[in-house]
Amino acid sequence: MTGRRYVVLAVLAGAVPLAVLGVFFVVPVLGMVGLGFFPDGRLDLTGAAETLVRPRVLGALWFTLWSSVAATALTLLLGLPTAHLLYRVQLPGRHLLRGLVTMPFVLPTVVVGVAFRTLLAPSGPLGFLGLDGTPVAIVAALVFFNISVVVRTVGPWWEGLDRRREEAAAALGATPVQVLRTVTLPALRPAITGAASVVFLFSATAFGVVLTLGGVRYSTVETEIYLLTTQFLDLPAAAALSILQVVVVVGLLVLAGRTRPSEDGGTDRVDRVDRRTAVRRLRRGDLPAGVVTVLVLALVCTPVLSLVVRSLRVDDRWSLRNYAALGGTGGSDALLVPVTTALANSLRVAVDATVLALVLGLVVSVLVTRPARSPGRRRLLGLFDGVFMLPLGVSAVTVGFGFLVTLDQPPVDFRGSPWLVPVAQAMVALPLVVRTVTPALRGIDPRQREAAAALGAGPLRVLTSVELPVAWRPVLAATGFAFAVSLGEFGATSFLARPDRPTLPVVVFELIGRPGGESFGMALAASVVLAAITATVMVAVERLRVGTVGAF
Amino acid sequence: MPSKTWIVAAALVPPLLVACSAGGGSSPSDNDSSTVTLVTHDSWSMPKKVMAQFERESGYELEVLRSGDAGQVTNKLVLTAENPIGDAVYGIDNTFASRAMDAGVLADHEPTDLPDSASAYVLPDDQSGSTLTPVDWSDVCVNVDLEWFDAEGIEPPRTLDDLTDPTYKDLFVTPGASTSSPGFAFLLATIGRYGEDGWLAYWERLVANGARVVSGWSDAYEVDFTAAGGEGDRPIVLSYASSPPFTIPEGKQRPTTAALLDTCFRQVEYAGVLAGSDNPQGAAELVDFMTSRTFQDALAENMYVFPVDDEATLPPLWKRWAEPAPAPIDLPAADVAQNRDDWLRAWSDVTAR
């Protein structure tokens, strides 16, 4: 095969995810920004420029930056020790705990808002902390949502690290801290960077939770865009903020890209190992990690438990009535379809979205990890890689309203095209897949591939015997994640889901906005079911073995 | 030779994309004149049999597109005025009506058989008098937890002024005006009562007296309110005149909460035909159906609002316990449209302090 054909194929394969991204993300965003910058068909930036110097906007920008940085740092600080304990140590019940840590990720934000406020309100069990309506509550909620991103992207990666290198360092006299600093952390760096960028983007664009917990006092760029678009209809200002958001996101991605090791860095090479050599017994040195893990479990379990408890209380008595009601449409037929049907919809859509995100994500990951022979090509691949992070960093409100003003003609008409829901969810899941799989593929020594090829292995054989053994665990983690993202996605879905075919988070939102204890109880019960199913699916996916590959 | 890997990958993508769209289900019949698409807010809720009756009588298929709160519905319609997302709209209220009318979102529609009692709700500044048809109304009022006040031996408040009385310090919670439509209605109540010059000072007193501002109605009512299943610490909450019947404990006869009828702002919801609709005839029939007895009868039970037809059926508990305000606070829709942004900005500044 000639070099030219190689390039043509690369371009063709890369064009598919790019086209999807272009239609479902770039076009809508440009449409909204265009409306703001060309208010009467002519370019007029005065409104936009005035916005950027408003004290309120500057305050929102500052709050966004520091709360997201704080949330990211805290999530890493808590998540890494937890990942260590849950993935590297033979802790009894660790699979269960991994599932538990995942639950917050898919809980509808409206419900989490209520759960946090129930705990933190002055009358709540944690009211004495005085955290209600403070930035601390917001940051805590962001950590609550994102902890699983760190645990579940770094964990599987950590599990696959060869312990012998650390043992060698220790045998040569390195203290545990030195081993951690000079051997373990550098080896984990690609996974940590990937997880950190995702957490930062999720935090910077978090919206429901900031709105609920921040009350009217704290606003972020995202909540400002929401208010400007949905309440004030001030499109120039919203456009200016959307652009600001993109600039910040791109700036961060460039920064994160800098810290990624170069092609020949060598520090992140992964040696394929047997699980048995990677996971070891619990020992006294794990105590600090254990303390952190207990903290994390407390942070995760307290709001979840309070939800479970409230969902089981009916008229001050214990009852399963809220759960029994999920088979129906609520008091006086509040819903178009029973909650159980919505759950079935959610699962169906999630399967589609997961397949799509996985296929597109793998194409992107495989492409960006091919050796680039010239600096220009390497930069191009870096750009290609980064572009797929954008959907996480740009306002869902802008994208959603952009759908309205741009995708309103066949063949892509957002109205009544049921396949738009999985596609939109896949765009949100795609960055997670890429960030989980790419570091694994990048960690493979190219010489291994070359050696396999030289020994006569065909490309498929190279893929299955060199790349898959290293990548299968992150691929499974990515699958679970894509599934969870899809199950929990609300912003885009509420825009696109057909009314007679809602997903579970959409139904929860409908229920919680209605008066009457019955609707509220059903909303809580439905959220608990959603979280439990997601955790179960993620644990099950993770425990799959990929044929013989896992058992070498 | 890694390139063949890519062939495999590239070859996999298109069939999977197709498989996905197939998995999503069949495409609906859109844009044809046998369907009427109704754009409405998230609180829309109508039993299947009511919708089926419309479909049977008119011969059209009804499709409902829930599109956020009243503000979002209006803004979406304004943004898509060129190519409307549906044929009819329901749920634009008197605080957003002017924005929709000014943007030319609505087509003229002369309602047939509008109940006599509905004429009181026709917008005075609806120039042609025929773009928005009133369907229902609700009173946004301050509610109090009677049991709490009884237990404390304090007389519950009655007026907006009372809320700034030190007796009721730290007892009131309301959803924010910028994030919640009942919250905005309450802001309008205070502006209607204290006037352009006095409302900011009132809010300063209110905040100084420990009023808590949260983001949404469900937050205030379900978390902070002491009654209604919540275990909060605020016995005074902003809600609706129709909320009390929902707080009748099982096996009891009386609600444990009451609405303060001197604090109410009346929200009126309208329906209309969208300009540029693919099916104006069907949209007109749908709007007329909404003022018909079948639909009016179902409103209270399903959307917790009062029908504009005063002869329509109300649930028995409502007749007794959901008393509307005899003289709600009024504010012209045109004033609201003109000043909305300024009021909200000023309000945000006062409450963020």
| Cβ B36 vs Cβ B60: under 8 Å | yes
- The whole-number average pLDDT for the span A211-225 is 82
Select from B80, B91, B41, B294 the least CA-distant residue to A499. Answer: B41
Q: What type of residue is A399?
A: V
Most confident of A405-409, B145-149, B219-223: B145-149
Closest CA to A17 of A357, A489, A249, A355: A357
**Residue B250 and residue B279 in one domain:** no
Calculate mean pLDDT across residues B182-202.
93
Residues 6+ apart with CB under 8 A from A319: A312, A313
B203 and B335 belong to one structural domain? yes
When divided into structural domains, chain A yields a total of 1
Match 């765009």 to its residue by tokens.
A427
- Cβ-contact B74, B100 below 8 angstroms: yes
- What is the pLDDT, as a whole number, of residue A325? 83
DSSP 8-state assignment for residue B120 = G
Q: Which residue of B has its CA nearest to A335?
A: B45
Q: How far is CA A285 from CA A19, A95, A99, A179, B188, in A?
A: 50, 21, 25, 13, 62
Nearest to A515 among B48, B65, B246 (CB): B246
Query: In B, residues 237-266, which contact A (CB 8 Å cutoff)?
Result: 239-240, 242-243, 246, 249-250
pLDDT above 60 (res A120):
yes
Q: What is the pLDDT of residue B25?
A: 38
The reply to whether residue A234 touches residue B341, judged by beta carbons under 8 angstroms, is: yes
Flag if A118 and B223 touch (Cβ within 8 Å). yes
Q: Which helix (H) or strand (E) holds B264?
A: strand B257-274
Beta bridge partners of A178: none
pLDDT of residue A70: 95
Which residues are registered as beta bridge partners of A145?
none
| pLDDT of res. A42 | 80
What string of H, E and C letters represents the secondary structure of A486-537? HHHCCHHHHHHCCCCCCCHHHHHHHHHCCCCHHHHHHHHHHHHHHHHHHHHH
Residue A145 lies in a domain: yes
Interchain CB distance below 8 Å, B17 and A356: yes
3-state secondary structure of B262: strand
pLDDT of residue A463: 75
Average pLDDT over residues A486-515: 79
pLDDT in tens, A288-347: 888 888 999 988 888 888 888 888 888 778 888 888 888 877 765 667 778 888 889 899
Q: What is the CATH number of the domain that holds B226?
A: 3.40.190.10
Phi, psi for residue B130 in degrees, rounded to 5? -150, 30
Side-chain-facing half-sphere of B44: CA atoms under 13 Å: 28
Average pLDDT over residues A248-261: 73
Nearest CA in chain B to A117: B223
- Chosen for mutation from A57, A230, A335, A413 (greatest number of chain B CBs closer than 10 Å) is A230
Distance CA B284, CA B46 (A): 19
Residues of B in contact with A409 (CB under 8 A): 83
Kindly state whether B43 is in contact with chain A, defined as any CB-CB distance less than 8 angstroms: yes
- What does residue A274 show for φ and ψ, rounded to 5 degrees? -80, 140
Residue B145 forms contact with A (CB below 8 Å): no
Contact A423, A356 (CB under 8 A): yes
Tokens of B272: 């209309």
Question: Is the Cβ–Cβ distance between B113 and A432 less than 8 Å?
Answer: no
In angstroms, the CA B145 to CA B147 distance is 6
Q: Residue A534 sits in a domain of what CATH number?
A: 1.10.3720.10
Residue B53: inside a domain, yes or no?
A: yes
From the CA of B295, how many Å to the nearest CA of chain A? 14
pLDDT on residue A5: 67
Helix (H, G, I), strand (E, B) or coil at B137: strand
Answer yes or no: are the C-beta atoms of B199 and B162 closer than 8 Å: no
Partner residues linked to B64 by β-bridges: B38
For residue B91, give how far its alpha carbon lies from the nearest alpha carbon of chain A (Å): 15
**Does residue B261 lie within any of the structural domains?**
yes
Euclidean distance between CA atoms A545 and A111, whole angstroms: 35
Do A417 and B43 count as a contact with CB atoms less than 8 A apart?
A: no
Q: What is the pLDDT of residues A179-213, one digit of tens each?
A: 888 888 888 888 898 889 889 988 988 887 888 78
Q: Is the pLDDT of residue A391 over 90?
A: no
Neighbours of A526 (CB within 10 A): 27
Residues paired with B61 in a beta bridge? B35
Of the listed ranges A112-126, B129-143, B230-244, the one predicted with least confidence: A112-126
Between CA B305 and CA B138 the distance in angstroms is 5
Give the C-alpha separation, A357 to A482, whole Å.
7
pLDDT at A497: 75
From A100-104, A538-542, B197-201, B254-258, the region with the lowest mean pLDDT: A538-542
| Same domain membership, residue B339 and residue B205 | yes
Q: Which whole-number Å values give the CA distances from A370 to A6, A470, B12, in the listed order?
A: 11, 16, 19
- Among A276-280, A474-478, B155-159, the minimum mean pLDDT is found in A276-280
Q: What is the mean pLDDT of chain A?
A: 81
Within a domain: residue B316? yes
Is A359 in Cβ contact with B16 (below 8 Å)? yes
Residue B107 included in any domain: yes
Q: Which residue did the predictor score with more confidence, A56 or A4?
A: A56
Nearest to A215 among B99, B214, B242 (CB): B214
Judge: B302–A334 Cβ closer than 8 Å, yes or no: yes
Residues B83 and B174 in one domain: no
Q: Interhelix angle for A468-488 vs A94-106, to 10°?
A: 40
Domain extent at residue A107: 27-261+275-551
Give the mean model confidence (pLDDT) for residues A114-143: 84
Q: Is the pLDDT of residue B2 over 60?
A: no
CA pseudo-torsion sign A472, A474, A477, A483: negative
- pLDDT tens digits, residue range B248-270? 887 788 889 999 999 999 999 99
CB contact under 8 A, A415 and B99: no
B175 inside 8 A of chain A by CB: no
pLDDT at A526 over 70: yes
> Which residue in A207, A490, A148, A145 sits closest to A342, CA to CA?
A490
Q: How confident is the model at residue A278 (pLDDT cuts 50, 70, 90)?
A: low
pLDDT for res A264: 41
For residue A434, which residues of chain B lie inside 8 Å, CB to CB? none
B5 pLDDT more than 80? no
Residue B259 lies in a domain: yes
Residues B192 and B339 in one domain: yes
- Mean pLDDT on B36-41: 90
pLDDT at A285: 76
Geometric angle at alpha carbon B105, from B96 and B134, rounded to 5°: 55
Question: Which helix H or strand E contains B88, and what residues bound it?
Answer: strand B88-93
- Same domain for B271 and B245, yes or no, is no
B227 lies in a domain? yes
* Average confidence (pLDDT) over B191-210: 93
Q: What are phi and psi of B234, to 5 degrees?
A: -120, 110
Q: Which of A215, A416, A459 sits opposite B4 (nearest CB)?
A: A459
Report phi then psi at A192, rounded to 5: -65, -45
The identity of residue B18, as a single letter, is V
Which amino acid, B48? Answer: K
How many whole angstroms separate alpha carbon A19 and alpha carbon A488? 25
Look at B213 and A421 and tell me if their CB atoms are within 8 Å: no
pLDDT band at B188 (very low <50, low <70, confident <90, very high): very high
Most confident of A522-536, B95-109, B255-269: B255-269
For residue A220, the SS3 value is: coil
Same domain, B130 and B91: yes
Q: Please report the pLDDT score of residue B22 as a whole number.
A: 36
pLDDT > 80? residue B225: yes
- Report yes or no: A508 and A425 within 8 Å, Cβ to Cβ: no
Confidence of residue A157 (pLDDT cuts 50, 70, 90): confident
- Burial of residue B49, with CB atoms counted within 10 A of its CB: 0-12 exposed, 13-18 middle, 19 or more buried: exposed
Domain that holds residue B176: 139-266+329-352
Q: What is the pLDDT of residue B26?
A: 37
**DSSP structure class, residue A372:** P
Give residue B1's pLDDT.
Answer: 37
**Residue A502, pLDDT above cutoff 60:** yes
Q: What pTM value is reported for the model? A: 0.81
Who wins on pLDDT, B229 or A67? A67
Which one of A303-307, A420-424, B272-276 scores highest in mean pLDDT? Answer: B272-276
Amino acid B350: pLDDT: 86
For residues A201 and A393, the answer to whether their CB atoms sit within 8 Å is: yes
Do A1 and B178 lie within an 8 Å CB cutoff? no
Statement to judge: residues B132 and B245 lie in one domain: no
Nearest-Cα residue of chain A relative to residue B103:
A233
Task: Confirm if B315 and A515 have CB atoms less than 8 A apart.
Answer: no
Half-sphere exposure of B6 (CA within 13 A, CB side): 23
Q: How far does chain B reach from its first CA to its final CA, in angstroms? A: 65
Q: Which of B14, B10, B17, B19 is nearest to A366 (CA)?
A: B10
Rounded to 5 degrees, what are φ and ψ at B113? 60, 40
Is A425 domain-assigned?
yes
- Point out the least confidently predicted range of A73-77, A273-277, B194-198: A273-277
Rounded distance, CA B294 to CA B115, Å? 13
Q: What is the pLDDT of residue A4?
A: 67
B40 and B126 belong to one structural domain: yes
Listed ranges A11-15, B155-159, B243-247; the one with the highest mean pLDDT:
B155-159
Q: Of how many residues is chain A composed?
A: 552
Check residue A229 and give its pLDDT: 86
Is residue A82 very low, low, confident or very high in pLDDT (cuts 50, 70, 90)? very high
Token pair, residue B216, equals 């949404």
On the question of pLDDT at B299 being above 50, the answer is yes
pLDDT computed for residue A260 by the predictor: 56
Residues of A within 8 A of B10 (CB-CB) are 9, 12-13, 16, 363
Number of domain units in chain B = 2
Q: For a pLDDT cut of 90, what percent of chain A falls above it? A: 9
Tokens of A225: 């865009």
Closest CA to A369 of B6, B16, B8: B6
As a whole number, mean pLDDT of residues A118-132 equals 81
Residue B11 falls inside a structural domain: no
ipTM above 0.85, yes or no: no
* Helix, strand or coil, per DSSP, at residue B229: coil
The tokens of B148 are what? 């709490």
| Residue B19 pLDDT class (50, 70, 90 cuts) | very low
Q: Is the pLDDT of residue B285 over 90?
A: yes
Number of A/B CB contacts below 8 angstroms equals 213
For A143-147, what is the mean pLDDT?
92
- The bridge status of strand A408-409 relative to strand A412-413 is antiparallel
Give the pLDDT score at A389: 84
Same domain, B236 and B155: yes
Reported confidence tier of residue A274, pLDDT bands at 50, 70, 90: low
Burial A117-148 (b: 16+ CB within 10 A, else e): bbbbbbbbebeeeebbbbbbbbbbbbbbbbbb
Written as one string, the DSSP assignment of A397-448 is: HHHHHHHHHHSEETTEESTT-TTHHHHHHHHHHHHHHHHHHHHHHHTS-HHH
Query: Looking at residue A265, what is its pLDDT?
Result: 41
Look at residue A275 and tell me whether its pLDDT is greater than 60: no
| B123 phi, psi to nearest 5 deg | -65, 130
Residues B285 and B335 in one domain: no
- Same domain for B152 and B221? yes
Of the listed ranges A296-310, A440-454, B178-192, B285-299, the least confidently predicted one is A440-454
Give A53 or A262, the one with higher predicted confidence: A53
Look at residue B50 and tell me if it is in a domain. yes
Give kind and range of the element (H or E) at residue B239.
strand B236-240
- Whether A550 shows a pLDDT value over 50: the answer reads no
Question: B323 φ, ψ to 5°?
Answer: -80, 125
Residue A168, token pair as written in the block: 């060698």
**pLDDT number for residue A259:** 63
